[in-house]
Amino acid sequence: MDRCKYCGSAFLRKDGVRNGAQKWRCKECNRSQGFEDKREKYSAKERA
């Protein structure tokens, strides 16, 4: 992460790990970010 997805600030700090993914906290808006669910929601067959 290089910028906050909420306010665009470049001032981020590490804020722990969740399910093996690093989380970040913005020093300006104090919001946490970085954890994204990368599992497939639907199989390829269901999407087609």
1-48 confidence digits (pLDDT tens) = 689 989 999 999 999 988 788 899 999 999 999 866 667 778 888 887
pTM equals 0.66
Number of Cβ atoms within 10 Å of the Cβ of 16: 12
Digit-coded pLDDT (tens) for 20-30 = 888 999 999 99
Q: What distance in Å separates the CA atoms of residue 33 and residue 30, rounded to the nearest whole number?
A: 10
CA 48 – CA 34 distance, rounded (Å)? 30
Identity of residue 44: A
